Each structure stands twice: as structure tokens, then as C-alpha cells.
Amino acid sequence: MVFVSGASFANAAVVDDLLGQYQTQVGGAFSAEEGKAAWNRLIPDAKTGEERSCAGCHGSDLRRVGKHLQTGKPIDPMAPSVNAKRLTDPKFVEKWFKRNCQWTLGRECTPKEKGMFLTFIQHQ
């Protein structure tokens, strides 16, 4: 069982289930440090050449409100320790992985990337 500091048991159960699925697909565990590095890594947009990262919208401190780079719309904190709604619905998590990875990376995230991101987020 993965311990999620400050988060509800529901959050931990959802994260554990998702991480278990991703671990089965990649055959290994995930590192919060690798997730942090991937979260902050700058990726050039294929069309514009602008660099994007997860931190560009969500910030590096996931306990704070982020701001969408294009729209300026506020984004609630990602950290389950301050936002009890985060990581409670696996379908919602997968939907946003698909949407945000496509926008940021120009493709869907791999199971390894999803696992690294979730591991990083859960430790915030």
C-alpha cells in the first residue's frame, strides 16, 4: 500500500490501483524524483517551438494554485494533501493524463510517465 500523506484513503486506493496497473505494464516501481524531473522538463512544441512543461501550468509547488499558459484559467492545486478532490476518480485521472500529455508532450503519456507523475503528485 502506498502512503499518501494528508490525503484520504480513497485517494490512496485510487493511486495504488493506477500505479499497480502501470507497474504491471512497465515491470517496475516509480520514483518521485524521476517524476519531479519529468514534471519540470521543458518540451518544445512541434508547431510553435515554445517550450512547455507540466510545471508551466500546474507549477512546481503542487500545493499552490496553477494557471493555464494559454487561457490564464486558474488550476486548483494538484497535491492531494491540500486538495481532497485530486486523484479520487481513476477515469478522471486517465482523461486528464490523455488531454494534458497530448498538449504538453504532443502525444499520450506512457505508463512509465503516468506512474512517475502520480508518484510525484502523491508525495506533495
State pLDDT tens for residues 86-114: 999 999 999 999 999 998 998 999 999 99
DSSP labels, 25-78: HHTS---HHHHHHHHH--EE-TTT--EE-HHHHH-SSTTS-EE-TTT--EE---
Question: 73: left (phi > 0), else alpha (psi -120 to 50), else beta?
Answer: beta
Amino acid at 57: C
The continuous run of DSSP H or E covering 116 comes out as: helix 111-122
Residue 23 pLDDT exceeds 50: yes
Q: Angle, to 10 degrees, between the axis of helix 9-26 and the axis of helix 90-105?
A: 60
Average pLDDT, the chain: 88
* Residue 28 binned pLDDT confidence (cut-offs 50, 70, 90): confident
pTM over 0.75: yes
Residue 5 pLDDT exceeds 50: no
* Residue 56 binned pLDDT confidence (cut-offs 50, 70, 90): very high
- Residue 75 forms beta bridges with which residues? 66
Please report the domains of the chain, with CATH numbers, ordered by start residue: 9-122 (1.10.760.10)
CA neighbours within 13 Å on the CB side: how many for 112? 5
2 or 118, higher pLDDT: 118
Question: 66: left (phi > 0), else alpha (psi -120 to 50), else beta?
Answer: beta
Reference 71, options 59, 54, 57; nearest CA is 57
Residues contacting 102, CB < 8 A, separation 6+: 108
